[in-house]
Amino acid sequence: MKRAFRKAATSIFLIVVVAFAARLEFAWSQTAKIPREVLSLVPFQTETGHIAYSVATGKGYASPFQRDSGPTAWLAPVYPLLVAGIFKVFGVYTRASFFTAIFLNIAFSAATCVPIFYAGKKVVGLGVGSGAAWLWALFTNAIMIPFEWIWDTSLAALLAAILLWATLEVAESERWLDWIGYGLLWGITAMTNPALAPGFPLLLGWLVYRGRRKWPLHLGKPAIASILAILCCFPWTVRNFLVFHRFIPFRSNLAYELYIGNNENYDERRIRLPGVITQDLETLRYLQMGETAFMDEEKRKAFQFILSHPRMELKLLGWRFVDFWMGVADPWRTFSDSESLLIRGILLGNFLSSVGALLGIAALFVKRNAYALPLAVFPIFFPLLYYVTHTSLRYRHPVDPIVLLLTAIAAGTLMRWPRQRSADGGRAVPTDLAAPFP
């Protein structure tokens, strides 16, 4: 019986099936509460849906607010083009398109169990790998987000998990094909969610350091990976330069995002983050000014606010830190005031996984685990962009698979610690998490 239970608990096939079923059941239950005409239209009323509409109707990659406003670089192209393809096949703003987009999000999210399972297995062992995959399969945010947002969020989480797994594998690979695939993977990721791109030079530097004993022959493989990653972004960058006459390698809207989180609507007496910018007013300004002039103006206003309110910016930085990891800037008050079990479950899950990730990083570095740095890169460096702009519940989701892997590592370490102390007569003994640094 114990052997059968262990086999089932460590079966990646079973974990993926459970993950897929949990997400599908949530989507089905939510869909039953929403009118048919709403499902076909409202979920696509975002920049992603508007750009996809423009592409699918032959107007090009344009109009992030649906009104004809000309070419845009508001979003990186992969996911909007994917939604445009769905529109082409299943119709623009139809229930069939909605269900297809949600099904793909669910598939992306459930498939994320696989790279997390194998990454955890490589870093620590089968128990932690399967534990991390189960955590992801049943994580409240991961069940909810594929339905709630037709956005690149679920795809980005899958890509981040694959990138971690690929980094661990390619570190020991001598095959040129593996490094070529690694570079292409980073290029696709940058064209999907550019917020993950800053991790590339850090992980590439780690890979170069790992192969330092094979210099100079080893440098050719990281070099080809870098070149291919850049080449994946090259057509998009050239298109943006020809259209906007400026260097835009990924997205054009950083200034707008900066202004959302740093603006004059902040009210210190209410002790809260800056007020939400009225989209109707901003859309009107965008349509009147055009994308380039609009972004220049947003950048000017954001920097003016930041430079003239330095103490306030420190407070905002702290609140955005809490907001990123908890989903709200005032988690305790939200938890105590809310009567929704879902909201409380989200807050509790965010808190436990955040603490677990911190403990997991500490455990890896204390034990001198060979893979400590690649795992730490994602939760440490990915959020930096959001600390200075603004945050949302879904913004941390691309690194949630790695956060849960680190939580599983922390849980595994804590579970083994009493047994190690008992085996050594009460004296704590370091637990071997994996091979030490060379």
Tell me: the pLDDT tens digits for 152-208?
999 999 999 999 999 999 998 889 999 999 999 999 999 999 999 999 999 999 999
Share of the chain above pLDDT 90, in %: 73
Per-chain mean pLDDT for the chain: 89
CA 106, distance to chain mean position in Å, is 15
pLDDT band at 261 (very low <50, low <70, confident <90, very high): confident
Q: Are 268 and 316 in contact (CB under 8 A)?
A: no
**Residue 299: CB partners within 8 Å, gap ≥ 6?**
255, 258, 259
pLDDT in tens, 9-18: 899 999 999 9
pLDDT band at 393 (very low <50, low <70, confident <90, very high): confident
The CA distance from 362 to 423, in Å, is 23
What b/e readout covers 225-234, taking b as 16+ CB neighbours within 10 angstroms?
bbebbbebbe
pLDDT at 6: 84
Q: Are 179 and 221 in contact (CB under 8 A)?
A: yes
Residue 437: pLDDT over 70: no
pLDDT band at 425 (very low <50, low <70, confident <90, very high): low
What pTM did the predictor assign? 0.91
The CA distance from 53 to 109, in Å, is 24
pLDDT band at 266 (very low <50, low <70, confident <90, very high): low
Region 348-354: mean pLDDT is 95
pLDDT at 3: 81
The CA distance from 246 to 238, in Å, is 9
Residue 43: pLDDT over 70: yes
pLDDT at 217: 62
